[in-house]
Structure 1
Amino acid sequence: MASLTWVNAEHEEWAVTGTFTFADADPAAMTGKGQLTFKNGWLGTESFGRSTFVQVSVIPDQRFEAVVRNLAAQLHQRYGAPDMLAAVEAARGEAEYAAGLCDHPAGTLLAIEREFTEDGVAERIRVIPKTDAGTHARIWSVEEDEG
């Protein structure tokens, strides 16, 4: 099994949940960035990098089909899909599932949370709410180091 490491997805890259990448993962073998990748990483469909948050956007049909083709190639090359037909079918399912999660206004932020259960991997999608001012709620802050 390949090690799970965090590689950043590209800015404005289309993403899917990517939970399939953990189908054969060993939870006991995960440490540091591998755990972060598993617990909170969306999968970029071009870089195959990860992102903690994604933003709901409208995807043109032509771009959607390009996402399916690229994801299918990765499923065939990296994950051993038996042939391209099976890879395209699986990729289309992943892309359609991701699109189904986007039943929110454009600009809405989504986060993903995963955990191992007795039945496999459980996945939850969370909407990051906007404040009354129209911006997303602060989920972290940066403070100056006084040292």
Structure 2
Amino acid sequence: MTALRLPRTIRFDPSDTLVFERAAEPGEWAVPGSFLFWDQVVPNLVGKARAAFRAGFVGVRSLGFSTLVVIVEASEAERDEAIEDLARHIHERLGAPDFEAARAAAREEIEVAVSLCGPEIGTLIAMHRTWEEGEIRESFRTLRRRAPGEDRLHGGLRAFRLIEADDEEQPEEHVDLLGLQSGEAGR
């Protein structure tokens, strides 16, 4: 039997605190969180709200956003605690009719999060959320550590590699990191 796994928010640098209105705390249990956008006019989102929509996992304790989550082992008690934390928000802040309905919705969100945790422990997951024909669509990418010497071109020095894309139809996004460093990107 496979051990229970859950995604947990992770922060490598302070960028989430700058990109999102409210950043999740590192180490929170996380869900994709598209339910937070159901009553939004998604095409009209701008700035930090748009960034949260496009790439934010939701921490169940804070309802803050995180760009990345990491797959970790979790106990049944930790999963149950995550369900209760999320259920409180769904009931108190999002208007569920009663706590049992909120708990059922939270349980469903946690099960979606669990379903993302098939790759090995320590794998990072990034999300890309879009609005297409009136519906929210999510795609996920997983990153895992390279084995030493695996990247001969760069001497095995890259920390992660892209290993999976659930949706081949998504357009590729490119960032000119060298240009950003030298201040030439976007010129």
Shared fold by TM > 0.5? Answer: yes
Q: Match for residue 106 of structure 2?
A: 91
The correspondence of residues 62-101 of structure 1 with structure 2, limited to 5 A, is 62-101=77-116
Q: Distance in 2 between matches of 1:27 and 1:119?
A: 9
Q: Distance in 1 between matches of 2:142 and 2:122?
A: 11
Q: Distance in 1 between matches of 2:182 and 2:109?
A: 41
Q: Which runs of 5 or more structure 1 residues have no equivalent in the other structure?
A: none
Which of 53, 57, 77 is the matching residue for 2:72? 57
Q: Please say if 1:136 is aligned against 2:136.
A: no
Following superposition, the deviation at residue 144 of structure 1 comes to 6.8
Over 4 Å off, 4+ runs: 138-142
Q: TM-score, normalised to structure 2's length? A: 0.69
- Tell me which structure has the larger Cα radius of gyration: 2
Q: Distance in 2 between matches of 1:28 and 1:118?
A: 11
Farther-moved stretch of structure 1 (62-71 vs 115-124): 115-124
Higher share in strand: 2
Contact between 1:6 and 1:36, CA under 8 Å: does it hold in 2? no
Q: Give the % identical residues.
A: 33
* Corresponding residue pairs, total: 141
RMSD between superposed Cα atoms in Å: 2.1
Following superposition, the deviation at residue 23 of structure 1 comes to 0.5
Q: Which runs of 5 or more structure 2 residues have no equivalent in the other structure?
A: 1-19, 151-158, 163-174
The one of the two structures with greater contact order (alpha-carbon pairs below 8 A, sep at least 6) is 1
| Structure 1 pair 144–13 and aligned structure 2 pair: CA distance change class (3 A) | farther
Q: TM-score, normalised to structure 1's length? A: 0.87
